[in-house]
Amino acid sequence: MHIHILGICGTFMGGIAAIAREAGHRVTGCDAGVYPPMSDQLRALGIDLIEGYGADQMRLWPDLWVVGNAISRGNPLLEAILDSGARIQSGPQWLSEQVLHGRHVLAVAGTHGKTTTTAMLAWILECAGRAPGFLIGGAPIDFDRSARLGIGEPFVIEADEYDTAFFDKRSKFIHYRPRTLVLNNLEFDHADIFSDLAAIETQFHHLVRTVPGTGRLIVNGCSPALSRVLERGCWSEVQHFLTDAGWRLGKATPDDSGSAMRFSILLGQESVAEAHLYQPGAHNRANALAAIAAANAVGVAPSESAAALARFGGVRRRMQTRGEQRGVTVIDDFAHHPTAIAETIAALREQLGPDRRILAVFEPRSNTMKLGTMRAQLADSLRGADLIYCYRGGLSWNPSENLVALGERACVESDLDQLVGRIAADARAGDRVLVMSNGGFGGIHQRLLAALGTLR
């Protein structure tokens, strides 16, 4: 079958393309700005990519057009497809029908930590010899791709609550029919498609309804929103984590090398494993706990899971070091929600201790941030950094008004070159420059390293 994918360079649709190619289909695709790293990954798989959405692509006449959720009415190629009466599907629907049916789907949902927890769970199952399929919304270091078909029964998927397609406004995860479901946490996000937290809770309730009675939910017991979701109905076994009666973490201490944290994994009052994790921060230990609990649902012992996580390399763009110049280290992170920003800064502080400076650089780029929905939380989320730099480019609101509580520690710039120059001038040997954005941020990482390299 020939499949042509609209919006192919997104992490999810690129994963669909990789899986379809592995399954033996001919796959082509297009995007507005065919861009790496996904474009490089797809070309390496022999997938032909087309720049833009020209209606002339109709001459390809594939057997199926798979439409990403970034594609909306008015797109010239989409309009031509609709006029022709050709067959279309969303990515989640195609995945459900062609790949997930008949497999043990382990889905990871929640506002934060989905990508890391999904990568952890896939790695655990890989180390356990289960040869899982997976689709991860990021680039895991331990695998050479973000998605694969796999040959084992388990399929691990990052379960996103964003909508499915222009013709299907349900959350993507409704299509996945998980047997094991991780609910990591739940806060308000995606203000461009959800009116409030209650609207997101409804979608999570619908997800819970799809889990069979013989399935299992692994649920963060500290989330009031998730408690409300379960109160609306649950028909499956529930195991909580981060609670005294469920899966929980022992006290974390640095290991002998000082580069990893050591902690116990407990189920109720019983210690079931000792874990070492190189990814810093309480949020990453919670992610690891959820992954261990989910793997246990398919028969992997906690001790075996902990041993795998001691070799877990992480995910690119999650506290990823991009380079060092003159003793200043530039770090890249995907954080863009206030909670994620605060947790990322706290994790870096845990790793560095109190004496090293953190220079936090933030781009309010997500749709929610562009709308200004969470601007009141911005100052508190950045408070743990020593110096704060915010890029104002493209915003209709002024972050300066919301960062005034941070005083002279905070700087807002609308010109990227000026921002880079200011950071480079302020940085000194031993500092960590933590860049946080869910986009490319104008190549700021390399620009910072170049600017630091030219200073005398």
pTM over 0.85: yes
C-alpha 283: how far from its chain's center?
13
**pLDDT tens digit sequence for 325-338:** 999 999 999 888 88
The CATH number of the domain where 56 resides is what?
A: 3.40.50.720
The CATH number of the domain where 358 resides is what?
A: 3.90.190.20
Beta carbons of 271 and 265 less than 8 angstroms apart: yes
pLDDT of residue 405: 87
Amino acid at 87: R
pLDDT of residue 35: 62
**pLDDT tens digit sequence for 368-391:** 777 778 888 888 889 999 999 999
The number of domains in the chain is 3
Same domain, 326 and 347: yes
Q: What is the rounded distance in angstroms from the CA atom of residue 405 to the CA atom of residue 138? A: 34
Same domain, 34 and 8: yes
Same domain, 12 and 34: yes
Q: Which two tokens stand for residue 152?
A: 């084992």
Q: Is residue 315 part of a domain?
A: no
Q: Which of 240, 275, 309 is at the close of a domain?
A: 309
Q: Which of 35, 67, 90 is at the close of a domain?
A: 90
Of the candidate ranges 86-100, 282-296, 414-428, the one whose mean pLDDT is the lowest: 414-428
Q: Is residue 122 part of a domain?
A: yes
pLDDT of residue 455: 67
Same domain, 223 and 362: no
**pLDDT tens digit sequence for 243-254:** 999 999 999 998
Q: What is the rounded distance in angstroms from the CA atom of residue 36 to the CA atom of residue 10? A: 10
Beta strand residue intervals within 188-307, DSSP E: 216-220, 237-241, 247-249, 253-254, 261-267, 270-277
The end-to-end CA distance of the chain, in Å, is 59
* Cα separations in angstroms, 313 against 46, 277, 332, 347: 27, 9, 15, 16
Same domain, 147 and 258: yes
Same domain, 108 and 219: yes
Same domain, 402 and 433: yes
Q: Enter the DSSP assignment of 208.
A: H
Same domain, 286 and 324: no
pLDDT of residue 122: 98
Q: Is residue 314 part of a domain?
A: no
Beta carbons of 287 and 344 less than 8 angstroms apart: no
Q: Is residue 207 part of a domain?
A: yes
Q: What is the rounded distance in angstroms from the CA atom of residue 206 to the CA atom of residue 175? A: 11
Q: Which of 37, 56, 90 is at the close of a domain?
A: 90
43 versus 179: the higher-pLDDT residue is 179
The CATH number of the domain where 166 resides is what?
A: 3.40.1190.10
117 versus 454: the higher-pLDDT residue is 117
Q: Enter the DSSP assignment of 98.
A: I
Same domain, 215 and 289: yes
323 versus 40: the higher-pLDDT residue is 323
Q: In what order do the strands lie in the sheet with 320-325?
A: 320-325, 328-333, 432-436, 358-362, 387-391, 410-413
Beta carbons of 173 and 139 less than 8 angstroms apart: no
CA atoms within 13 A on the CB side of 275: 32
pLDDT of residue 376: 84
Biggest alpha carbon distance in the chain? 66
**pLDDT tens digit sequence for 132-156:** 999 999 889 999 889 999 999 999 9
Chain position carrying tokens 């994963």:
15
Q: How confident is the prediction for the chain on average, in pLDDT?
A: 92
pLDDT of residue 142: 94
Same domain, 287 and 324: no
Beta strand residue intervals within 179-269, DSSP E: 180-183, 216-220, 237-241, 247-249, 253-254, 261-267
Torsion angle in degrees (nearest 10) through CA of 157, 160, 163, 167: 0
pLDDT of residue 456: 59
- Segments forming the whole domain that contains residue 16: 2-90
* Cα separations in angstroms, 184 against 114, 137, 358: 7, 15, 27
